[in-house]
């Protein structure tokens, strides 16, 4: 179920809010847990059984780790480490089977044929919606309990609220257990005040998704579908997708954070003006920050981080970004996209470019171009499509008007307002890197009450148009639903 769908906006959300307001505040977690399972069942259908099974296993594992820690067991399968290893292996096995088994079978088949064999069976499995996100939440839970960062949840409904919380279940932000454990246990909050605070953030995210991202999607889809794109068509498509994925995913994150606020829960920020970054290293401090923090805490640092010297650091960065690419999807394009960003980070670290000061406009422009080029690889359906688009972007087929002009499909299918929105995308580079609209709406960046009020009014005034567009069917699924 999409946050921008009429079913969610006009039926599901009012129903869960009404239950939250009518019932005593101590029932908050139970309400969220029950409605969240229903929310997933609508979109995930039979895969809700997979989600519930993983929840039962990890809930029991958390309790077992807690008991083993209290008993001071140090060895064997019943030790905290033994239980952790078994649980993590099980969670990763589920993710590997449902998300990567098909990709692996295709790769094995292609390799066999390349070596002169007859090939092998190709496995096709439907991808459970949001599996990457709720798997990472389960892993965070058992690891945090094992580390003693937080105690295990005793109440199964409280645990279900953390894992299945509908604001972040499908596409994040990825909430590490230790970030929200205390909030889940503390159910004393101002319900009306929470709604007043959270709704403008939700409305702002809805506007970003329905009005901006979905408009840019039309331009991007048309450009990428062009059989022989010109230099200009390829760059227009790349810029359109650059804007689409940012406003789509950050819009979802704003909506999720706003929904969390309505129930008295503070979810972590996920974006901080990423296209204002002055290096690729800085970009990853601003883009999908909850994923970056997760990989830092549960993969990069356990691998040794930057403590083992330059070679070990580069190795760890490579592993993390290959994992980042694979996390996004089971395809060679995602693997290469992760390797591309990992290579850029290693280059910046090796040369010291990430710490260079001055020339801010130039550094931002170069970073933006590198990120845009990476998004072409991320968006491409396969390596052939990437080669087609990248070739047109890098090597214009002559300097004549036909070679540099726009494809006729773009000229006939793109509305005037979509061209205006497209022109705004490169201008994001020029905005102050510290100005984040969501944090202004929330009043978390120390802005004056007047500025905060203005931002909230902008969000609220834009929401009716976005809601009407959603009712008219002018929305598409969030891009990160596929991950």
Burial 337-363 (b: 16+ CB within 10 A, else e): bbbbbbebbbebbeeebbeeeeeeeeb
Tell me whether residue 417 is one of the annotated catalytic residues. Answer: no
Q: Which of 385, 458, 45, 87 lies closest to 220 in space, CA to CA?
A: 385
Contacts of 208 (CB under 8 A, 6+ apart): 247, 248, 250, 251, 254
Give yes or no for residue 326 having a pLDDT over 70. Answer: yes
pLDDT at 373 exceeding the cut of 80: yes
**Span 358-373, average pLDDT:** 91
**DSSP tag of 94:** H
Of 288, 328, 341, 417, catalytic: 328
pLDDT for the residue numbered 220: 93
Alpha-carbon distances of 232 from 11, 28, 361, 375, 411, rounded to whole Å = 44, 53, 23, 16, 12
CB atoms within 10 A of CB 398: 11
Q: What's the pLDDT tens digit per position in 123-141?
A: 888 889 889 999 999 999 9
Tell me the C-alpha distance between 363 and 428, whole Å: 14
Taking all residues of the chain, what is their mean pLDDT, rounded to a whole number?
A: 86
Q: How many CA atoms lie within 13 A of 109 on its CB side?
A: 11
Residues 291, 327 contacting (CB under 8 angstroms): yes
Place 461 in a pLDDT band, splitting at 50, 70 and 90.
low
**Quick check: 442 pLDDT over 70?**
no
More confident residue, 261 or 308: 261
The predicted pLDDT at position 185 comes to 87
Q: pLDDT digit string (tens) for 143-196?
A: 999 999 999 999 999 999 999 999 998 887 999 999 999 999 887 778 888 888
Give me the mean pLDDT over the 14-42 stretch: 93
Pair 268, 175: CB distance under 8 Å: yes
Distances from the Cα of 137 to the Cα of 171, 213, 265, angstroms? 12, 27, 16
| Residue 483 confidence class, pLDDT cut points 50, 70, 90 | low
Tell me the per-residue pLDDT of 51-88, one tens digit each, with 9 for 90 and over: 999 999 999 999 999 999 888 776 666 788 899 999 99
Percent residues over pLDDT 90 in the chain:
53
Cα–Cα distance, 52 to 40 (Å, whole number): 10
Convert the pLDDT of each residue in 235-294 to its tens digit. 999 999 999 999 999 999 999 999 999 999 999 999 998 999 999 999 999 999 999 999
DSSP conformation class of 299 = I
Which is higher by pLDDT, 217 or 190? 217
Average pLDDT over residues 207-217: 88
**Percentage with pLDDT > 70 across the chain:** 87
């Amino acid at each position: 179920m999409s946050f921008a769908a009429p079913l969610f906006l006009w039926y599901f959300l009012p129903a869960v809010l009404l239950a939250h307001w009518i019932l005593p505040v101590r029932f908050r977690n139970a309400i969220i847990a029950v409605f969240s399972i229903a929310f997933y069942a609508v979109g995930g259908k039979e895969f809700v059984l997979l989600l519930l099974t993983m929840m039962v296993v990890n809930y029991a594992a958390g309790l077992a780790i807690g008991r083993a820690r209290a008993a001071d067991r140090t060895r064997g399968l019943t030790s905290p480490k033994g239980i952790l290893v078994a649980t993590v292996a099980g969670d990763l096995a589920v993710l590997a089977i449902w998300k990567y088994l098909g990709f692996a079978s295709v790769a094995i088949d292609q390799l066999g044929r390349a070596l002169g064999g007859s090939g092998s069976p190709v496995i096709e499995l439907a991808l459970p919606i949001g599996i990457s996100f709720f798997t990472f939440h389960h892993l965070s839970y058992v690891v945090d309990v094992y580390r003693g960062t937080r105690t295990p949840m005793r109440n199964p409904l409280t645990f279900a609220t953390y894992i299945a919380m509908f604001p972040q279940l499908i596409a994040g932000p990825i909430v590490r257990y230790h970030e929200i454990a205390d909030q889940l246990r503390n159910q004393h909050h101002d319900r009306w005040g929470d709604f007043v605070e959270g709704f403008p953030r939700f409305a702002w995210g809805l506007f970003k998704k329905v009005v901006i991202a979905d408009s840019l999607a039309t331009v991007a889809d048309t450009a990428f579908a062009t059989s022989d794109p010109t230099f200009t068509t390829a760059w227009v498509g790349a810029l359109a997708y650059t804007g689409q994925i940012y406003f789509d995913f950050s819009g979802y994150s704003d909506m999720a954070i706003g929904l969390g606020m309505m129930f008295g829960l503070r979810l972590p920020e996920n974006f901080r003006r990423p296209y204002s970054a002055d290096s690729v290293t800085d970009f990853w401090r601003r883009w999908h920050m909850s994923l970056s923090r997760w990989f830092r805490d549960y993969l990069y640092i356990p691998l040794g981080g930057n403590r083992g010297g330059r070679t070990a650091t580069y190795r760890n960065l490579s592993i993390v970004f290959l994992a980042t690419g694979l996390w996004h999807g089971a395809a060679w394009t995602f693997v290469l996209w992760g390797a591309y960003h990992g290579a850029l980070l290693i280059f910046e670290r090796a040369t010291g470019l990430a710490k260079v000061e001055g020339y801010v406009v130039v550094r931002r422009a170069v970073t933006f171009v590198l990120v845009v080029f990476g998004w072409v690889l991320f968006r491409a359906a396969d390596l052939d499509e990437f080669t087609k688009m990248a070739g047109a972007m890098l090597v214009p087929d002559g300097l004549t008007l036909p070679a540099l002009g726009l494809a006729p499909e773009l000229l006939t299918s793109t509305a005037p307002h979509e061209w205006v929105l497209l022109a705004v995308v490169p201008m994001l580079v020029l905005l102050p890197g510290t100005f984040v609209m969501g944090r202004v709406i929330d009043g978390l960046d120390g802005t004056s009450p007047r500025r905060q009020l203005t931002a909230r009014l902008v969000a609220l005034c834009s929401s009716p148009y976005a809601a009407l567009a959603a009712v008219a069917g002018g929305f598409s699924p969030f891009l990160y639903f596929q991950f």
